[in-house]
Structure 1
Amino acid sequence: MHRVRLAEVFPPGRPPIAAERFELRSDTAAHSHDFIELAVVTGGTATHVSAAGEQPLDRGAVTMLRPGDWHGYRGCDRLTVYNLYISPEAFRRELAWMRAAPHLGPSVRIAGRSGRHTGHPLRLDPTALRVVETGLAETSGEPGSDPALHPGPAYAVRVGILLCLLGGVAAHGSTDATSERTDHVHPAVLAAAQFLEDDIQRAWNLGELASTVNLSPPYLTRMFTAHLGVPPMTYLGRLRAERAAALLIETDLSVAAIGRLAGWHDPNYASRRFRHFFALSPAAYRARFRPGGC
């Protein structure tokens, strides 16, 4: 399976957000990448295939995928897709403030969802869709072109498009259960997420993490789940699964060695946790999705 590398889309000196337009009239083979991808459908129909299963797509559908996820398209009927690529480092650090933005929280929480949900299409608010479509049309390369060759506008403009995209998704889904969560994100929640992201190999437990941010374990769990969608340890598991997925595809290391690098020191436990997030064992994931492996 083809894997699009971070360096291909974000060469040195280029902003950490890029855009590209595709017109698809035939199936697209499953592929993965080591950056965040938001795909906005502006025309046509297709079936989106990912670890989450198969989902229909039409105008206004948005899919969000994290590093290590894979996806493809089947039954494309004049499908037009705008891809917005975001460097994981930018999302975790430069754009970390988005987690605390009241109306963006539900969209940004994709970072905490398990692989069973990642890849399911969301809906973009019609008004936001028009704005996003216009902005992406002005910042994207020609269909199938290399996004690295089309740096587009200033970084701030791309962030604006991203904000509109996420805001539109949040607005469309504002009536679901996530809208009942408090708008203000406790700083300790953001700090806890950052601690986990910065050191996934550490043998974290809930008590230690809560102590680090000066909250009780039950309170941290409630606040973390309310704002990031999952409990802290599930969030950590997702980070570890992503690291393992990247290493499975990019290296020849054994599954046991990869588990240790991801913070799972028991090979059997590592396999179970990986399967939980990607619906495949580590060995099956490597065999199926590594370039040349299928």
Structure 2
Amino acid sequence: MIKLTDSVLFGGTREPFRVSDWLMTVPTGRLVADPVTLSFVIGGESAVESAAGSLRAMAGHVLAIPTGMWCAAFPVGFCRAVSLYLRPSYVASQLEWLPVRHPLVGLLQTSSDRAHVGVLDIGAESMRVLAPKLIRFAATRRSRLQQLAALADLFDAVQQLGTASDRRARSAPLRPEVLRAMGAVEADLQHEWTLRDLARASSLSESQLTRLFVRDLGVPPGSWVWQRRLENMAELLGTRAMSVSEAAVLSGWRNPSAASRAFQRRFRVSPRVFAKRVRRTGKRSLSEGESSGMPFERDPECGLGPSPGGLRRAADVDCRSCGAL
């Protein structure tokens, strides 16, 4: 069993929370964390075993894992999640000021009884809107005050996407022009999109569209398209038997070699190795204490100490190799 203690996660600091962006391709084995874990599943899916039972986590789900409860993930192909490790005292303070109908209130309250894993379904489309903000939150270095402000902004975004009463996804809090540009890309990811194309699809100038993308999604259009192409490439490699070049072309990359380099920078593993691990996952499972075939290693950027086999912290967003954008 792997123990994520306060000293491992916080390194002796008084920080109220930590955030990490994880890509899982093989079973993790049992993990137990001292803080409350709030995990936003932004891609793929995974079976989750815990002391409280079993559940299926998919894109669009937010999981609240109580302090001290062991949990193990068994990715179906792959699963990507941004996890917040929250000190219990900080969770209690947040529950005091968050509105009663905030979607995360009921979820965080379930973590206080330590009896089961709470699950909130905001929907895959809503999570797709939230994903750029989550990725940026995990990747950007900030001061403590800036981190607290970023977390408050994240909680506000979640509130706009759903309510605790029905736990159903609501309309994305985005400008219609941004939604039109996103819809155009999703409808034809293989198109050689340029900023001019997206501006034309959204009936805005290039500068106006860029400003709205940064405001609503936290990244410019080029970075968003870059992320979507890599996410689609990972999904294809994780769910279909195809070559790296085929997955790259179907995801809109003109140059498969550039796609492979971008994939390596984004996920810190080559697409070929990623596909091999994902396909191997379906042929075996790990019992507690069994090696995942991937050695533990210290991630110098994460600072969280040894990472469990199958867990890798995703790299920072870089759109320099994004097709036509």
Aligned counterparts of 2:271 and 2:189: Cα–Cα separation in 1: 18
Instruction: Give yes or no for contact 1:39–1:83 (8 Å, CA) kept in 2.
Output: yes
Q: Give the secondary structure class of the aligned counterpart of 2:61.
A: strand
Q: Give the secondary structure class of the aligned counterpart of 1:200.
A: coil
Q: Give the secondary structure class of the aligned counterpart of 2:253.
A: coil
Q: Of Structure 1 and Structure 2, which has the larger fraction of its residues in helix? A: 1
2:261 counterpart residue number: 272
1:197 counterpart residue number: 186
Q: Does 1:158 align with 2:175?
A: no
Letter in 1 for 2:50: L
Aligned counterparts of 1:34 and 1:24: Cα–Cα separation in 2: 16
**2:67 is matched with which residue: 44, 53, 68?**
44
Q: Does 1:207 align with 2:196?
A: yes
2:50 counterpart residue number: 24
Q: Give the secondary structure class of the aligned counterpart of 2:64.
A: strand
How far does the alpha carbon of each residue in 1:77-103 deviate from its partner, in whole angstroms, 9 at most, with x for none?
x67422234653xx2xxx6xxxxxxxx
- Deviation of 1:289 after TM superposition, in Å, equals 3.2
Letter in 2 for 1:81: V
Structure 2 unmatched ranges of 5 or more? 1-25, 28-47, 74-78, 93-113, 141-149, 284-291, 293-325
Instruction: Give yes or no for contact 1:256–1:267 (8 Å, CA) kept in 2.
Output: yes
How far does the alpha carbon of each residue in 1:169-197 deviate from its partner, in whole angstroms, 9 at most, with x for none?
xxxxxxxxxxxxxxx85321221122122
1:222 counterpart residue number: 211
2:247 counterpart residue number: 258
Aligned counterparts of 1:23 and 1:83: Cα–Cα separation in 2: 13
Instruction: Give yes or no for contact 1:34–1:246 (8 Å, CA) kept in 2.
Output: no
How far does the alpha carbon of each residue in 1:93-152 deviate from its partner, in whole angstroms, 9 at most, with x for none?
xx6xxxxxxxxxxx8742334857569996869xx9xx94xx6xxxxxxxxxxxxxxxxx
Q: Does 1:81 align with 2:117?
A: yes
CA RMSD of aligned residues (A): 4.5
Instruction: Give yes or no for contact 1:23–1:81 (8 Å, CA) kept in 2.
Output: no
Instruction: Give yes or no for contact 2:82–2:135 (8 Å, CA) kept in 1.
Output: no
Scaled by the length of structure 1, what TM-score is found?
0.51
Aligned counterparts of 2:185 and 2:120: Cα–Cα separation in 1: 26
Against the structure 1 CA distance between its residues 108 and 270, is the aligned structure 2 distance closer, same or farther, given a 3 Å change threshold? closer
Aligned counterparts of 2:192 and 2:185: Cα–Cα separation in 1: 10
Q: Does 1:241 align with 2:230?
A: yes
